[in-house]
Every structure is written in structure tokens, then in C-alpha cells.
Amino acid sequence: MKKLLLVDDELHRAQSIKSVMPSEITAIWAQNAGLGIQALRAEKFDILLLDHDLYHESGSGEDVAKVVAETQNPTCKIFIHSQNEAGANAMRQLLSGFEISRSAWDNGQRMAPGLPEWLKAQA
């Protein structure tokens, strides 16, 4: 069973992602950067789904990316689904050496294109 960490502050996104997640993947949802960082320091993950704009005082996706680079194996697969292009690019730079995919949720709040297929490929 592969372990996935989803760092996103939006409940509807978390629910949408869980609805397409293969049964071979077990997920932890961190609703803000602080919880994401705590989870990353506690265990290793096979898959990470990361957002940049986390509206909480505990930090942004860049703060999470720094801890990913410090704590996770470079074999960990990462999907950045942020709408913030500049923030997503900053996260990519912090995560050089990791395999990263990227697609943003659209303004109509439809799932990031390619994410369901990407998740199936990781299972």
C-alpha cells in the first residue's frame, strides 16, 4: 500500500481527490502547511499532492516544499496542483531532484487536468 500526503486547505479539493484515488493508495490530508510539515517530519511518503496558497498562518507550499526536500526520498512522486504559477515554480525549484508533475485546478473548481490518471499511474 502506497502512502500519499495531500497538502491543501480546500475541503472540496480533498474530497474530489479522494473520490478518484485508487484503493492501493492510503491518504493523509493536511489542511495547512503546519500539519503537512508535521506529517513530513514524522514519516516517509510515496506520493505528495501539494498546493501553494494555503490560507493559514502556518505557512505556504514553499515552506512545505523545503521540508519535503529535507525529509523525503527523491523517489517520492510529487504533483503540484496550485493555481499560483509563480508559487508553483518556486516550489519546483526547491524540489529539484524529485519527479514533479504539475497541473492547476481551474477557476470553476474542476479538478486539475490529468490528476486522476496520474494517481492511477502511481498505484
90 band by pLDDT with thresholds 50, 70 and 90: very high
- If you ran DSSP here, which 8-state letter would residue 87 be given? H
Q: What is the CATH number of the domain that holds 101?
A: 3.40.50.2300
Domain of 61, in residue numbers: 2-122
CA distance 32 to 30: 6
Query: Across-strand partners of 6?
Result: 29, 49
pLDDT above 70 (res 108)? no
pLDDT above 80 (res 44)? yes
CA distance 15 to 92: 25
pLDDT above 90 (res 20)? yes
pLDDT above 90 (res 62)? yes
* Range with the largest mean pLDDT of 55-64, 73-82, 99-108: 73-82
CA distance 56 to 31: 9
Total domains in the fold of the chain: 1
Instruction: Tell me the percentage of the chain whose pLDDT exceeds 90.
Output: 82
Average pLDDT, the chain: 93
Residue whose grid cell is 490560507: 55
CA distance 59 to 99: 23
Q: Which of 4-13, 80-89, 98-107 has the lowest mean pLDDT?
A: 98-107
Say if residues 46 and 6 touch (Cβ distance below 8 Å): no
